[in-house]
């Protein structure tokens, strides 16, 4: 098997696992890649898998038109294989001959030689009438390129913005840096980028820089020495909303991979505890802290279960559907469903109720998600505030954010940023006065 065919095999299996409810695309690509697969082939696999996931529902409508007869359940991987081929033909610069030949060849690797003619025929028929099929949008799912449940949810929550949201989700995200203010000012780092012939612009957040074109992180000046990190502009508002003071005792719940933990520590000298439920994810937190030269206590702990200590500030980066970052993780549209949204909402409310007991009177808790769905965001926070006598809603004004009853919602695509929700909750100090 050639190296490029190995890349296509990796992309196919990573996508097939996502479709069957196993793991994320990023995790599957990392886990399934052969140790000897070269960086160029890993990049090719990522491109193929990402392009296919990004355009999945449009491609699926085309495939249904080209192959109206349904495959048997046990042969659904052939459908995924054809979709990867269509994705490359429609949305990449790969040579058409190579795409068709190597996609067809994978039927042998799948031990389904009967599918060889089917795959070849579908891909070549697409190429013969490409303009027709590229315009083939028989229903809302194909037109908006989103699953029906998500179309309905976005229409209900954001009727005026729905078209812009769908369009933003279908585009690639910009590459955004967060400058480590302990090392450089933003303007000084922009000068470094210019000297390296890497065009970039200031982002709307104070520490944000947006690159004109994505590059390998190791091409960034002094990346290995902690000068900058990758973090979308929307995620960078958390540190400012925390209103940090030197020496405060801070808890970052659901902290992995550690981007927000590090941003807090770049801003202030803190006594910081970072926790996450999944032990394997904490390695990334340690790596980021080490690269940036920062220190925090890192523990594996379930944020929904009791934890020792009282904190001046708590950041809850709550589990959510990720519907605000589909443009960055296109497989989300394949992997989520309404039940997961309901489950995430219930878990996040448990986390809020649990950690509120760890917040000092007069303290501040920032609740954040990368979701655009009210059930995970403002509806949930409003329910918590209504049932928590010492919880007050604090100021949460964010540039580009849409004010909500309890927080602020950023929608994907506005200022070319990810979708995010924030709420600031203040714990009343009144009971302290009553005991004096």
Token duo for residue 204: 């709307």
From the list 262, 272, 370, 396, the catalytic residue is 370
- Cα–Cα nearest to 199, from 175, 181, 230: 175
- Known binder of ligand: residue 260? yes
Give, as one character, the DSSP assignment of residue 205: S
User: Cβ distance 390 to 428 under 8 Å?
Assistant: yes
Tracing tokens 């229409």 back to the chain, one arrives at: 155
- Known binder of ligand: residue 188? no
Length of the chain: 436
Query: From residue 57, how far is each of 54, 140, 163, 300, 405 by CA, in Å?
Result: 8, 10, 16, 38, 34
- Known binder of ligand: residue 363? no
User: Cβ distance 275 to 301 under 8 Å?
Assistant: yes
Query: From residue 325, how far is each of 21, 267, 273, 377, 388 by CA, in Å?
Result: 19, 25, 26, 15, 30
How many whole angstroms separate alpha carbon 270 and alpha carbon 294? 10
- Give catalytic status of residue 300 as yes or no: no
User: Cβ distance 109 to 1 under 8 Å?
Assistant: yes
User: Cβ distance 36 to 115 under 8 Å?
Assistant: no
- Known binder of ligand: residue 254? yes
- Known binder of ligand: residue 152? no
- Known binder of ligand: residue 167? no
Token duo for residue 1: 């098997």
- Known binder of ligand: residue 309? no
User: Cβ distance 383 to 423 under 8 Å?
Assistant: no
Active site residues: 370
Which residue ranges make up the annotated binding site for S-adenosyl-L-methionine?
254-260, 276, 317
Which residue ranges make up the annotated binding site?
254-260, 276, 317
């Amino acid at each position: 098997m050639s190296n490029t065919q190995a890349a296509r095999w990796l992309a196919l299996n990573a996508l097939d696992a996502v479709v069957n409810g196993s793991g994320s695309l990023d995790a599957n690509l990392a886990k399934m890649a052969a140790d000897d697969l070269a960086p160029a082939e890993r990049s090719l696999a990522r491109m193929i898998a990402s392009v296919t996931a990004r355009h999945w529902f449009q491609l699926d409508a085309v495939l249904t038109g080209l192959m109206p007869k349904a495959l048997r359940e046990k042969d659904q991987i052939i459908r995924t294989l054809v979709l990867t081929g269509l994705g490359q033909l429609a949305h990449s610069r790969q040579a058409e001959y190579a795409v068709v030949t190597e996609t067809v060849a994978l039927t042998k690797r799948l031990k389904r030689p009967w599918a060889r003619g089917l795959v070849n025929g579908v891909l070549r028929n697409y190429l013969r009438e490409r303009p027709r099929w590229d315009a083939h949008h028989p229903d809302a799912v194909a037109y908006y390129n989103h699953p029906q449940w998500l179309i309905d949810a976005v229409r209900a929550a954001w009727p005026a913005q729905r078209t812009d949201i769908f369009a933003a989700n279908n585009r690639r995200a910009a590459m955004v840096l967060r400058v480590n203010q302990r090392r450089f000012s933003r303007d000084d780092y922009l000068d470094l980028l210019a000297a390296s012939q890497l065009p970039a612009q200031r982002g709307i957040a104070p520490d944000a820089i947006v690159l004109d074109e994505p590059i390998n992180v190791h091409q960034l000046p002094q990346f290995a020495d902690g000068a900058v990190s990758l973090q979308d502009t929307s995620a960078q508002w958390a540190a400012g909303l925390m209103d940090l003071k030197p020496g405060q005792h801070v808890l970052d719940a659901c902290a992995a991979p550690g981007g927000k933990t590090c941003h807090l520590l770049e801003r202030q000298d803190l006594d910081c505890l970072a926790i996450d439920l999944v032990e394997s994810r904490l390695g990334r937190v340690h790596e980021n802290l080490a690269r940036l030269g920062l220190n925090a206590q890192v523990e594996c702990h379930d944020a929904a279960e009791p934890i020792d200590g009282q904190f001046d500030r708590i950041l809850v980066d709550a589990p959510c559907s990720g519907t605000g970052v589909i443009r960055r993780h296109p497989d989300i549209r394949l992997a989520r469903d309404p039940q997961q949204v309901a489950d995430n909402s219930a878990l996040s409310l448990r986390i809020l109720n649990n950690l509120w007991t760890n917040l000092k009177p007069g303290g501040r808790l920032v609740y954040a998600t990368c979701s655009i769905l009210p059930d995970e965001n403002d509806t949930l926070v409003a329910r918590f505030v209504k049932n928590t006598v010492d919880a007050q809603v604090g100021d949460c004004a964010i540039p580009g954010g849409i004010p909500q009853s309890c927080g602020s919602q950023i929608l994907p695509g506005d200022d070319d940023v990810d979708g995010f929700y924030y709420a600031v909750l203040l714990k009343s100090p009144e009971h302290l006065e009553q005991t004096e």
